[in-house]
Structure 1
Amino acid sequence: MPEIIFPGPEGRLEGRFHPQPKTDAPIAIVLHPHPQFGGTMNNKVVYNLHYAFHKMGFSVLRFNFRGVGRSQGEYDQGIGELSDAAAALDYVQAQSQNARHCWVAGFSFGAWIGMQLLMRRPDITGFVSVAPPANLYDFSFLAPCPASGLVINGTADRVAPPRDTKTLVGKLQEQRGITITHTEIEGADHFFKDEEQHMQPMLNTVTEYVTRRLTESTR
């Protein structure tokens, strides 16, 4: 998979781009956890989500937010990171101008950034939010949430407790015109550390959901 450097708001951003040969392949970007707590594009959840989307036929980009790895700049409380995500989406769209579907997936802090990007970019047709930290960040900007998507978390998550995720999902499910699907992985912690019991079921859920959405859109 080619390593790429693309322009961001504060200098270059480092990423991994996995294009499809089909010019009209759907596109996706995958956003990593908090930069100040060890989050990078090589986080296991992010890495596996990247490959799950690619196996579904997406051209996929994951990248390091500013100040992480070889990406220039410094951590910016989520404000600059949102601009980084917008630049990443611009890059993928420039490479895939015939794409009819555009998705954003994020894990933890990346889920929060991804949902904000969703509000700014009406061209995003679906989202996957893995373990969104609804206890740490304000998600009230999702009013209304502009697209349907999947929220997935573990029942043993102590970083982003399930009760807060359920409250967030409940508010989103009250909104008209969209469908929010919520799945909990039994026994999984924040990082889905057990490969067989937690990580794989999470990835299977994402694959089933996204594949169904893509199939429905072609009918």
Structure 2
Amino acid sequence: MPELIFAGPDGRLEGRYHPQPIPDAPIAIILHPHPQFGGTMNNRVVYNLHYAFHKIGFTVMRFNFRGVGRSQGEFDQGVGELSDAAAALDYLQAMNPNSKHCWVAGFSFGAWIGMQLLMRRPEITGFISVSPPANMYDFSFLAPCPASGLIINGSADRVAPPKDTETLVGKLREQKGITISHEVVEGADHFFRDDEEHMAPMIGSVQSYVRRRLTESSR
């Protein structure tokens, strides 16, 4: 997979880019968990999401937020990280100007950043939020949420408790014009540690959801 370095708002950012052979393939950006708690673009969930999208036919990019790996800068409480995500999406779009579909997927802290990016970029047509930390961060900016998407979490998540995720889903489902899908992986913790029992079902659900959305949009 090609490694790349691209210009961010606070210095160079490090990423991984996985293109498709067709020029109008849909594009997706994958966002990693909290940089101050070991989150990087090589996190297991992020890595698996990356390849899940690529197997469906997406050109995919994931990257390290500022101060992580070879990315320059320092952690900025989510403000700078949102700017990093916007710069990464700009870069991905510039390399794929013919793409008709644009998705964002994020895990934990990355899910919070991804939902903020969704609010600022109307070209994003769908989202995946894995283990969104609704107990730690305010998601009330999603008013209204501009696109339909999937929220997925584990039933044994102690970092972002399921009850808080359910409250977030409930509030989003009150909005008109979008459809919020919600799936719970039984027994999974925040990180989907068991590959067969938890990671595989989560990734399978994501792929099924995205495939269905793409099919619906092509009708």
TM-score normalised by structure 2 residue count: 1.00
Instruction: Tell me which amino acid in the other structure corresponds to 1:154.
Output: G
Match of 1:177 in 2: 177
Match of 1:124 in 2: 124
1:158 Cα deviation from its structure 2 partner:
0.1
Q: Does 1:108 align with 2:72?
A: no
- How far apart in 2 are the matches of 1:148 and 1:43? 25
1:117 Cα deviation from its structure 2 partner:
0.1
Unaligned segments of structure 2, at least 5 residues? none
1:203 Cα deviation from its structure 2 partner:
0.2
Q: Does 1:81 align with 2:81?
A: yes
Unaligned segments of structure 1, at least 5 residues? none
Percent of aligned positions with the same letter in both sequences?
80
1:197-212 to structure 2, matched below 5 A, reads 197-212=197-212
1:79 Cα deviation from its structure 2 partner:
0.1
**What secondary structure is seen at the aligned counterpart in 2 of 1:166?**
helix
Instruction: Tell me which amino acid in the other structure corresponds to 1:129.
Output: S
1:33 Cα deviation from its structure 2 partner:
0.2
Match of 2:160 in 1: 160
Q: Does 1:142 align with 2:137?
A: no
Deviations 1:30-52 (A, max 9, x none): 00000000000000000000000
Instruction: Tell me which amino acid in the other structure corresponds to 1:30.
Output: I
1:150 Cα deviation from its structure 2 partner:
0.1
Deviations 1:169-198 (A, max 9, x none): 000000000000000000000000000000
Match of 2:22 in 1: 22
**What secondary structure is seen at the aligned counterpart in 2 of 1:99?**
coil
Q: Does 1:133 align with 2:118?
A: no
Match of 2:93 in 1: 93
Instruction: Tell me which amino acid in the other structure corresponds to 2:57.
Output: G
Match of 1:192 in 2: 192
Instruction: Tell me which amino acid in the other structure corresponds to 2:191.
Output: F
Deviations 1:73-126 (A, max 9, x none): 000000000000000000100010000000000000000000000000000000
Instruction: Tell me which amino acid in the other structure corresponds to 1:25.
Output: A
- How far apart in 1 are the matches of 2:161 and 2:117? 23
- How far apart in 2 are the matches of 1:182 and 1:206? 11
Where do 4+ consecutive residues of structure 1 move more than 4 Å? none
Instruction: Tell me which amino acid in the other structure corresponds to 2:78.
Output: G
Match of 1:48 in 2: 48
How many residues are matched?
219
- How far apart in 2 are the matches of 1:52 and 1:182? 18
RMSD: 0.2
Match of 1:31 in 2: 31
Instruction: Tell me which amino acid in the other structure corresponds to 1:135.
Output: N
**What secondary structure is seen at the aligned counterpart in 2 of 1:69?**
coil
